[in-house]
Structure formats: C-alpha cells, structure tokens
Amino acid sequence: MEQLILIYITYPDKAAANKISSQLIEQKLVACANIFPIQSAYWWQGNIENDDEVVGIVKTRESNYEAVQTFVERHHPYEVPCILKFAFTANAAYAKWILDSTVSS
C-alpha cells in the first residue's frame, strides 16, 4: 500500500485555509482537511512575532506531496508558507478511504 502522509500548513486566517483546502479536496489531491485556530510565535525579518493563525492538516498519499506543495506555494498569501510533511499509518478502513478519495499525481 502506498505511504500515507499528513501535510501541516499554516495560514493567516480561516478564509485562506478554507479556500486552499477546498481546492485541494476538489482536485482530489487530498482526502480531507482539519482546520483550527492556533497562536504562533516566530522570527520574521529580525523580529519576534506573535500572531493568531489557522492550521490546516490535510491527509493524502505520498505521491501527491509535490503537487500539494506546488499548489499551496502558488496560492498561499504568505511569502514563506509553512508546509510540513509527516508519514503516518492508519487503520485499514481509514487508509483505504484516503486512497479511494484521492488520485495519484
């Protein structure tokens, strides 16, 4: 079975997260997205920033990572978006659902 991955993406707001996540789902690049608010602290241009952000965690197959990354980079409002990939295993029925819900790039 193909390796499954989570992709963790931060956004400036819920609207951006919903828009990009919906487009990824519509294109069958990801099976689903979980979207929730977070508080972020980070270095940016020599300063420590503290911001409210939104994180999206999308679930897909390994072969779709590059297509998802490229899409997010093209449509994301940040100059440097956070796009992190994590491999995972899931129960057989859920893994099959992810594979059935996506097309391989």
39 and 20 Cβ atoms separated by less than 8 Å: no
Q: Note the pLDDT of residue 1.
A: 79
Which two structure tokens, joined as six digits, stand for 86? 């994590």
Q: pTM score, two decimals?
A: 0.95
Domains, the chain, ordered by start: 4-101 (3.30.70.120)
pLDDT tens, 81-101? Answer: 999 999 999 999 999 999 999
> What is d(CA 30, CA 99) in angstroms, rounded to the nearest whole number?
9
What is the DSSP code string of the chain?
Answer: -PPEEEEEEEESSHHHHHHHHHHHHHTTS-SEEEEEEEEEEEEETTEEEEEEEEEEEEEEEGGGHHHHHHHHHHH-SSSS--EEEEEE---HHHHHHHHHH----
Q: Looking at the predicted structure, is the pLDDT value of residue 105 above 90?
A: no
**pLDDT tens-digit map of 20-75:** 999 999 999 999 999 999 999 999 999 999 999 999 999 999 999 999 999 999 99
Taking only Cα atoms into account, the Rg of the chain, rounded to an integer number of angstroms, comes to 14
